[in-house]
Amino acid sequence: MAEFLDLGRLGYLEAWDTQKGIQADVQSGNRDDTLIFVEHPPVMTLGASFHEENLRLPRSEYAELGIDLIKTDRGGDVTFHGPQQLVIYPVFDLRRHGKDLHRWLRNLEETFIQVCASFGLKGERSSVNTGVWIRERKVAAIGIKVSKWVSIHGIALNCNNDLCPFETIVPCGIQTHVVTSLSVEAGREITIEDAKPEVAKAFQNVFGITFQTFIPNEVP
């Protein structure tokens, strides 16, 4: 059994605080695995492997564009979160799911390959970069942190969001590839509300879990 929370639109730092509180409860055995959905206001997050040169603009210009810059402890380099992008934070105890970081990442990729398939799209892995790709364009970025075998942070799935902010960075530090969205690849609008049930279903399929409830916009 697992729990589900839909936080709606929430600031990055507030959602991070929510994750850490839930992580502590999962670590102590007082809470089941919890899947969080959220949509963030515009923000660039700078991961543990961030390199300053992957910001293509001076820092002051991001503020002028209404985009926050936030240093975070997830893996990876820089990425963008914003409206119409579904961000998924699985706060899961990996001891229940193989106690293997490599397996955890591959299972997350498999989850979003299945999400792509639900919309008639062929999602794929890269042999060198974590994430899910459609024709070598990244549709889902993955960045996690695991403490005492409980994971936080997670996956950003581009649904029908504006991709222009990605042009102001080197997304995930990868020079050779660009980002895409479900809507661009499908040639039709796919919203985060369209994606949510498919993501929940794929998590159930891949991880063999059942959600106690699946109620979008439920506030903890």
Options 116, 159, 164, 172, the catalytic residue: 172
Of the candidates 100, 82, 89, 101, which has an alpha carbon nearest to the alpha carbon of residue 166?
A: 82
Annotated active-site residue 116? The verdict is no
Cα–Cα distance, 55 to 67 (Å, whole number): 12
Whole-number Cα distances in Å, 157 to 52, 121, 153, 162, 199: 24, 14, 13, 12, 10
Contact predicate 210/117, CB 8 Å: no
Dihedrals phi, psi of 115, to nearest 5 degrees: -60, -45
Tokens of 107: 């299972």
| Degrees, nearest 5: CA angle 146-172-195 | 75
Whole-number Cα distances in Å, 46 to 6, 69, 77, 80, 208: 24, 7, 6, 9, 32
Amino acid 143 reads G
Instruction: Report the catalytic residues.
Output: 172
